[in-house]
Structures are given as C-alpha cells and as structure tokens.
Amino acid sequence: MSAPPSSGQAVARTGTPPSARHGWVQAAVTVLAGVIVMGVLAALGLWAAGGTGIPDNGFPRVVAATVVMAGGGSVRLAGDAGALADTRAGLTAMPLSVTLAGALVIATGFLRPLRHRAMAGASELAGWAARIAVLWLAALVGLALAARQTFTVPLGNGTIGDIGDIGDLFGVNPSIGYTTDLAPTLLFGFLWLAGVLVLALLASRGAPLPARLLRRQESVRPAAYAMVVLLLACVCVGVVIGLVVAATRGHPARTLAVVLLALPNVIWPAFTIGLGATWNGRVDGPFGLPMPHLLDQVLRTPDVSTLDLHSLAQYDGRVWWLVAVDAVLTVGAAFAMAARSPARIRPWRHAVHMALALVAAVLTICLICRISAHYGLSLIGIGDLGGGLSGVLFLEPRLWSALGLAALWGLVAGFAGGLLATRVRPRSEVP
C-alpha cells in the first residue's frame, strides 16, 4: 500500500494549498474571546471610574455600550425635558484601550489556524473572514440591544436649586440617556473588523497570502509590522507612565480607569504632538478629558485652545522629552522594518516606505482619537440653563500639517533605520 501524499504533493496535484481547520466553531471561539476580553476590560475601567454607582442597575448596560463604541459602533445620547424645554446631546469617542484589546485577541484568533502555511487561496481567506464577520455582527446586535437606558437629571439639588424651582414651575423634568443606532453600528463595526483582519494579515510574517499578493509583501508587510510595533510601543510606554503616576501622585483609581479605558486616546495624540502636530480643543462644563490634568488645564479656556509642544511647555517644560522619545521610537520602528526587508532594498527606499507607513499611522490616529461631547438644556428657547447642566468637550487635530510632519519624520527615520540595518546585518546577507 502506498503512502498518503504529502501536503506539498497535494498542492502540486490540485494547484491549491490545503485548507486549515477554521470553521464555525473556531470563528465562534475567536469572536467570543474578543467580546469577553473587551467586556472585562470595560467593566474594570468603569468600576475604577466609579461606574458601579449608576442608577437603575445600569452598570451592565453601560459596559455593553462601551464595548459597542470600542468595536466601532454608534451610541447616541438622547434627552427629553418636557413640552417647554429642549435638550441637546451628542457623543463621539472610542475607548481605545478596549478597542486595542479586542483587536489583538480577534487578530490572534484569525491568524492562529493559518500559521505554518506558505500560501492560501483568496476564497479560503475570504470564507474564514466571513465566518468571523457574521458572528461578530451578531454579537454587536446583541450588545446594541442591551446598551440602552435613560436617566432622570435632578434639578433641585446642589448648585442648581434655583433651576429646580423654575423646572417645577414649568413642569420640566429633564432626562438623558443613550441608545444605539443599529444600522451605523453594523456598518462601522464591519469596517472595524475588516481593518483589524487586513492589518493582521499584512503585519504577520507567517500568515499566508494569495499567490497574486506575494510579490507585494516585501514592501508592505515590513512597513505594516513596523507601525504595529510603533503603536504598541507607545502604549507600553503609557502603561509604565500610568503605573508610576498611580503609585506616586495619588488618585490610583482614576489613573487606572484611564489606563483600562482610554490609554491610547492619551498616548497616541501625545506621540503626534511629539512629531510637531497640533490639536485644537476645548473643555467646558462638567465634562473632563480622559487625559492628565495638564491637558485639561490647557484646554479649559473660554475659547478654542491650541495643543502643541509650545503651549504645553508653558505649563511643564518636560514635554520637550516627547521629541526625544518619538525619535527613538520612530528610528526603532524603521530599523525593525528594514531588518524584516530583503537586504537588496536601499536605505532611500526604506525612507519612502517608512514615510508612507507613518503617514498612514498618523492619519489613523487623527481619525480615531477625535473626541466630541456636548449636552445642553434650554427652557422656552432661551439658551442653556447652565448650573452644571450644559457643557462641551472636543479635541481634534490639524490634519494636513500632522500628515506632512509624519512624512518628514518617516523619511528621516526610514533612512536612518535602513543604514542601521545594513550595518548590523550579517555580511553574507549584503548583496
């Protein structure tokens, strides 16, 4: 009896690579693991922020809303104040610590069945991704239906007692809550998942690609890997800083809440500021930024504030260290990119690849780190009543200058990283 054909012989006879085990069960495990990790991280962060005191046993629903937002979903604030009053509310933000944790878990589950493969067909990869997408969207539907609640805003307590008297006179009983827009949630949740899976394929050296894309991997994969390493290195630096701050400056629960919920919201804009980028923002009313007190102090002004190295240095000169840290991180990422690239690629090509990759990374940061929130209550059309019942918060980048600076930094860092890789590469690998 003849021996069974090897996998290489099977490929030669059929013309297609053998399929890995990645059916519905594996897809369900991947999605479930991602949702659980995101839910646990969101719950711990909200607990550290004091979220367990939410009325009407609303803590689980707030956790669900946080996971929906982290997965690219749309959570809309809603309010009602009776016939003679009007409420206006809006929220745009992503808890990026939760987002990052879920992305890493789902990407790992997506790549695991594909390891030890040299090549995979496009239909096989599409089918495996489609299984994960179907179950991910189903999970988002369930979370979106659970993430809905309304709270009554008391008018007769504290600093707004006078407003409470007016409210009683006119029958104003303001309430605010949140709900999910299902269609945008499914659309942006699908786009979020697609981005995670595509980036996982591009950044992983061991993940198989269709034959038509293999010729492109020499220039794309090392750059994608370098950007993933760069962004994760920023987060690791932020974790260390957060732990030091929690241990030495007090308020450990508040610091822990920022680390668990919104650390990339802090550290990735700080990285772009170190590159020279500028962000505009303002904080007014009861809102607060998930950022150190220094940034809140700079932005809590009557007008729109400018957030850059110069404005921050007026409060704390140590922010200039951001430039040195960014230089180390970008050159290190460029070196990692060059070390993964073929030896024949010249330093000037590494510079071009790094510039394009860093522009893409900074563009992503600028898009996902925007923060916008507002809430206001007006009575018979006369402005905001104030008294702690209105506020505005926003933070947004000056996009084009940030991208231009990223391109410049990428060119310099890419050339330097390419030269370093050439010097440390074994002599036998240099053409």
Per cent of the chain over pLDDT 90 is 46
- Which pLDDT score is estimated for 268? 96
pLDDT band at residue 5 under the 50/70/90 scheme: very low
CA distance 243 to 238: 9
User: What region, left, alpha or beta, does residue 381 occupy, with left being phi > 0 and alpha being psi -120 to 50 degrees?
Assistant: left
> What is the 8-class DSSP label of residue 342?
-
Comparing 57 with 318, the larger pLDDT belongs to 318
- For residue 263, CA distances in Å to 98, 132, 260, 280, 326 come to 9, 27, 7, 19, 17
- Which pLDDT score is estimated for 76? 78
Is 431's pLDDT higher than 60?
A: no
SS3 for 391? Answer: strand
Structure tokens at 185: 């949630």
- The Cβ-side half-sphere exposure at 316, using a 13 Å CA radius, reads 11
pLDDT digit string (tens) for 47-69? Answer: 988 877 777 778 899 999 999 99
- Which pLDDT score is estimated for 192? 96
CA distance 59 to 46: 8
- Which pLDDT score is estimated for 330? 97
- Which pLDDT score is estimated for 122? 79
SS3 for 279? Answer: strand
Structure tokens at 16: 């297609």
Comparing 391 with 16, the larger pLDDT belongs to 391
> What is the separation, in whole angstroms, between the first and last Cα of the chain?
49
- Which pLDDT score is estimated for 420? 93
Over the chain, what is the mean pLDDT? Answer: 81
- Which pLDDT score is estimated for 18? 46
Q: Which residues of 198-207 are buried (b: 16+ CB within 10 A; e: fewer)?
A: ebbbbbbeeb
- For residue 257, CA distances in Å to 62, 78, 146, 215, 261 come to 15, 25, 23, 45, 6
Distance of CA 330 to the CA centre of its chain: 19
CA distance 335 to 213: 24
Comparing 133 with 166, the larger pLDDT belongs to 133
In 10 A of CB 406, how many CB atoms? 27
Structure tokens at 302: 């009557």
Please name every residue paired with 306 in a beta bridge, in sequence order, or none if there are none: 280
CA distance 250 to 247: 7
- Which pLDDT score is estimated for 296? 72
Distance of CA 361 to the CA centre of its chain: 12
- Average pLDDT estimate for 351-376: 90
pTM to 2 decimal places: 0.84
- Average pLDDT estimate for 366-376: 81
CA distance 308 to 298: 10
Is 366's pLDDT higher than 80?
A: yes
- Average pLDDT estimate for 29-46: 96
CA distance 81 to 382: 14
pLDDT band at residue 88 under the 50/70/90 scheme: low
CA distance 130 to 135: 9
Residue type, 422: T
- Average pLDDT estimate for 314-339: 93
pLDDT digit string (tens) for 215-257? Answer: 777 778 999 999 999 999 999 999 999 888 888 877 788 888 8
List helix spans (H) across 5-88. Answer: 7-14, 24-48, 59-70
Pseudo-torsion of CA 25, 30, 36, 40, nearest 10°? 160
175-180 and 391-397 beta bridge pairing: unpaired
- Which pLDDT score is estimated for 179? 83
